[in-house]
Amino acid sequence: LIAQIIVDIKHQAVDQIYDYLIPDALLDDVQKGIRVMVPFGNQTRMGFVVGLVDESETASREIIEILDSKPIISDELSTIIDYLYESTRSLYSSIFETVIPSELLMNYGKVIHSEQVDHLPEEWQEKFSKKGIWRLKKEDYHLLPRLKRLQEQKLLTIENVTKQQTAPKYETVYFYQDDTEYPRLHYYPQLGELTVNESYTVAMLKAFGFSASNVTTLTKNGVFKRDQRRVARTVEHVFSNEDKRVILTPEQQQVSNTLKANLHTNKTFLLHGITGSGKTEIYLDVIEKVIASKKQALVLVPEITLIAPMVQRIQARFNRVGLYHSMLSKGERHDQYHQILNQDVDVVVATRSGVFLPLETLGVIIIDEEHDQAYQQTEGVIYHARDIALNRSQYHHIPLVLGSATPSVVSMYQAEKKAYHLLTLTKRPFEIKEPNVHFVDMKIELQAKNTSIFSRALKQAIIDRLNKKEQTLILFNRKGFAPFVLCRQCGHVPRCPDCEVSLTYYQDKEQLKCHYCGYEKPYVPTCEMCHQPTLKPIGVGIEYVEQQLQKTFPHARVLRMDTTVTRTKGAHEKLWYQFLNEEADILLGTQMIAKGLDFPKVTLAAVLMADLSLKVPAYNASEQTYMLLTQMAGRSGRHQMGEVFIQGYQLDHYAIQSVEKPYASFYREALFDRQIGQYEPFMKVAQFLFEGEAYLKTYQKAFTFKKQLSLLKDVVVLGPTSPFIKKSKWGYRFVITIKYQTLDLNVIDKMLETMKEDKYYVKFYPILDVL
DNA sequence: AGCACGCCGACT
DNA sequence: GTCGGCGTGCTC
């Protein structure tokens, strides 16, 4: 028997199946879908068993060991991997990395051991630990030839170490043996309280009155038997778990009944329910039926902020709830994954990457806030969680439920064409009227000599809320203190050395930072070009808004929420909780505050520079803007009459004006836009990103490729254009955009093949990214 | 990607 | 003669 293996090296040259012999000892254990360790050239590498065949001409070396007793790549996941390969042409090893949690991947390293550190070159001696161990860093690898020579002289040894990125957590437990003849048993009367065959942790034994040394002594004498038990790290949330079970309204009941009647179909449902119409109640009702029929439910939310409130609702009603997202610690994620792999959960709440989780008996997939662009993976292997979910719903023959108050244009179009089944919720269970929306033209404010970032009306409204002890939400969607700094003397703008994008100024940390690659450096007011102290932050970022809020409303308690302050674990929840507890009057945030928890005391929501996101050079900018504003408007007055202020300079765009109109009015305009521009859903859009060392040559390669593409029938080719991020660490960037109905990727593949050259890269982006 | 091998120039 | 840098070719 031969195992077909993909080795976990992300490189074109080795991205293929390798055949390996299976040693007799492992014959029974090697199965499709497990991870194994194999010799690969002079290395030992992890690999995935993707198939078993009887014969092979090339197999010559044996599998070293297996890492899983149960496949981590199910047959279903294999079909998803095939789908990802077909749609993206990414490397297989990259695809594996995308669909399995990083905790199952390996870290490879080298460790130098030496007992004669003092005989080694002086500059190396300090790198060794007391025990004579030196873990090589990547930048030390160039020393390897020298180290190898020293190894031959037996002064040191070089060891290759391979470690799984996270290990399971174990705890020590003790079992009481009541059949021992230990003579001093009567010293420990507490023993009588213990139950045989029950496992006790040290902490539990301490509660019975055993000291740590008691436990050691009793273990030594066989009264306690020690064992290791695997423990799952539990994930704590600060929210309560009270189940607010409500009786469904007739409208909700009807929608829910339709879904429950279709649990044995593979239909896709678009659940369009206005804000506050109770979509979550319907999810819970459907999940209840799924669990009752011994199946599992997968609930996806677009971002981490929304995990906690969703988990709270779900955990209040169901037991065995799993959760999965990137803010879990590595250990927690590892444990959640294994619980799910063992099918120990009934419901999983997860973000985008959770769409690959190994649930074997799926009964329904729910994608909440389906319009959110966070469902689109934009780096590495590009995919849309909706497409993967669609795949899985076909595989399991189960329904897929897409929920939204503002469905994406693409999904609504599918519903119109009857590819999706449209379900609509038009009523709010509590008779709350829609909030009043005020559009404030800042041009007029300026004419009235108001240079503040707050209009007079908004300022008055905030003061009013402060007096009434009600809360205010303010959205400003730009990070940092100022989007760039400018030298007033010579006009120089500090830019990222890699991306050539202007650096954002952060006042908190006195830093300049690149939003695209994360490059940062300290801010000094002296210009690096003309050496004059004339550098000044220009423009408005959220930190500036915070400063202005504090100046304008000195007695208001302001909380700021953006990626800078929510980077640490649990920070989101803490901030939400503080605001919910009325420890602040105003919550200022980037787009992350537009969704999530209900705040009963919020009666005012404001968006500053609402037209900012319309200026983004993306074909779906108006959709994104409309969604953001609508969500924000929905945050105000969920429990009492609310007001919404939308400030900006150019507010006559339909994406902004539609906020106070029904969804359908936005949808019509947007669809018309898409038709004129020939974008989704009428044409598919994909892009090719060229990156290369020399500016001109990169452009020429892109241009040559464009000419080749133009020969294809029914494909519109645009570009090459210079993208927003004009440089990367690989060099200069150019983008070619294509629009098409159908595309033969095999042909594209062959064309890309001819573009291959050292130091020049082309990447295919199958779904539209903002390049 | 990461490793060995082999060629070449620089330095004791 | 030896060391280290870099281009090339290979990995079941």
Q: Which band of pLDDT confidence, cut at 50, 70 and 90, is reported for residue A131?
A: confident
Rounded distance, CA A747 to CA A591, Å? Answer: 40
Q: Is A165 helix (H, G, I), strand (E, B) or coil?
A: coil
State the pairing for strand pair A362-367/A400-404.
parallel
* Count of CB atoms situated within 10 Å of the CB of A309: 20
Q: What is the DSSP string of A421-457?
A: EEEEE---SS--PPPEEEEEEHHHHHHTT--SSS-HH
Whose tokens are 């079970």? That residue is: A245
Among A304-318, A420-434, A452-466, A657-671, which is the least confidently predicted range?
Answer: A420-434
A195 to A205, A211, A228, A689: CA distances (angstroms): 12, 18, 18, 66
Nucleotide nearest to A4 (CA to C1'): C12
With distances taken from each CA to the C1' atom of nucleotide C3, the closest residue turns out to be A146
The whole-number Å distance from A153's CA to C1's C1' is 19
Question: Percentage of chain A surpassing pLDDT 90?
Answer: 62
Q: What is the pLDDT of residue A432?
A: 66
| DSSP β-bridge partners for residue A367 | A300, A402
CA dihedral A409, A410, A416, A422 (to 10 degrees): -90
Is residue A81 predicted with pLDDT exceeding 70?
yes
Summarize the confidence of residues A481-487 as an average pLDDT: 92
Q: Which of residues 39-68 of A touch strand B (CB under 7 A)?
A: 41-43
Q: Which nucleotide is nearest to A61 (CA to C1')?
A: C12
Percentage of residues in chain A having pLDDT higher than 70: 97
Tens of pLDDT along A599-621? Answer: 889 999 999 999 998 988 788 89
pLDDT tens by residue, A561-611: 998 888 887 788 889 889 999 999 999 999 888 887 778 899 999 999 999
CB distance A278 to A252 below 8 Å: yes
pLDDT at A239 over 60: no
Q: What are phi and psi of A70, to 5 degrees?
A: -130, 140
Q: How confident is the model at residue A769 (pLDDT cuts 50, 70, 90)?
A: low
Average confidence score pLDDT of chain A:
90
The residue that leads in pLDDT, A344 or A749, is A344
Six-digit token string for A34: 């497990």
- Cβ-Cβ contacts under 8 Å for A27 (sequence gap 6 or more): A1
Q: What was the pLDDT predicted at A156? A: 86
Task: Report whether pLDDT(A482) > 70.
Answer: yes
Q: Measured CA to C1', what is the nucleotide nearest A60?
A: C12
Kindly report the backbone phi and psi dihedral angles of residue A476, in degrees, each rounded to the nearest multiple of 5, phi listed first: -140, 115
In which band, very low, low, confident or very high, does the pLDDT at A171 lie, cut at 50, 70 and 90? confident
- pLDDT for A518 beyond 90: no
Q: Which of residues 156-195 of A touch strand B (CB under 7 A)?
A: 160
pLDDT tens per residue across span A193-219 = 999 888 899 889 999 999 989 999 999
Tell me the range of A150-154, A156-160, A282-286 where mean pLDDT is highest.
A282-286
Nearest to A676 by CA among A619, A634, A717: A619
> Is any atom of nucleic acid chain B found less than 7 Å from the CB of residue A149?
no
Q: Over 60: is that where the pLDDT of A265 sits?
A: yes
A149 touches strand C (CB under 7 A): yes
pLDDT score for A770: 58
Q: What is the pLDDT, as a whole number, of residue A154?
A: 81
Q: What is the DSSP string of A82-124?
A: HHHHHHH---HHHHHHHHS-GGGSEEEEEEEE-S-GGGS-HHH
A123-132, A237-246, A288-297, A354-363, range with the lowest pLDDT: A237-246
Nucleotides of B under 7 A from a protein CB: 1-4
Check residue A309 and give its pLDDT. 84
Residue A180 approaches strand C within 7 Å at CB: no
Model confidence pLDDT, tens digit, residues A528-571: 889 999 999 999 999 999 999 999 999 999 999 998 888 887 78
Please check the confidence at residue A238 and state whether its pLDDT lies above 60.
Answer: no
CA of A137 to C1' of B8 (A): 29
- Asked if the Cβ of residue A42 lies within 7 A of any atom of strand C, the reply is no
Token pair belonging to A375: 């469902």
E strands, A482-534, are 484-487, 504-506, 511-513, 520-522
* pLDDT, position A422: 98
